[in-house]
């Protein structure tokens, strides 16, 4: 049996309901007969969402570090602690 998701449907919700229904169907199958999900396109969607969240977290951490370092250094800009005294 094939299940196609409508364009306006949420694929993640559909696969959750299909998985729940598949478990109910497996319980009613005769002995020796097996059923399973052959192809699940939502694995790609879940991986993509995970990568986007990971990238956002890393980006926010880098931005916070840059802002912290620039604000900490800015207070000492007038002192110029990184230069040697001129002769």
The whole-number pLDDT of residue 58 equals 97
Residue 6 resides in a domain: yes
Higher pLDDT, 57 or 84: 57
Rounded alpha-carbon distances, angstroms, from residue 64 to 54, 57, 69, 75? 15, 11, 8, 17
In a domain, 80, yes or no: no
Based on the domain organization, do 28 and 52 belong to the same domain?
A: no
DSSP per residue over 31-57, as a string? TT-----S--THHHHHHHHHHHHHHHH
Determine the structural domain holding residue 23 and report its residue range: 1-39
pLDDT in tens, 4-60: 888 899 999 999 999 999 999 999 999 899 888 888 889 999 999 999 999 999 999
pTM: predicted TM-score of the whole model, two decimal places: 0.60
Looking at per-residue pLDDT, the higher value among 1 and 46 belongs to 46
User: For the chain, what is the domain count?
Assistant: 2
């Amino acid at each position: 049996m094939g299940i196609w998701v409508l364009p306006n449907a949420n694929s993640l919700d559909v696969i959750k309901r299909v998985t729940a229904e598949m478990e109910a169907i497996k319980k009613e199958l005769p002995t020796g007969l097996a059923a399973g999900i052959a192809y699940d396109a939502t694995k790609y969607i879940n991986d993509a969402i995970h990568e986007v969240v990971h990238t956002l977290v890393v980006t926010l951490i880098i931005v916070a570090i840059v802002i912290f370092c620039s604000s900490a250094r800015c207070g000492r800009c007038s002192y110029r602690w990184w230069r040697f005294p001129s002769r």
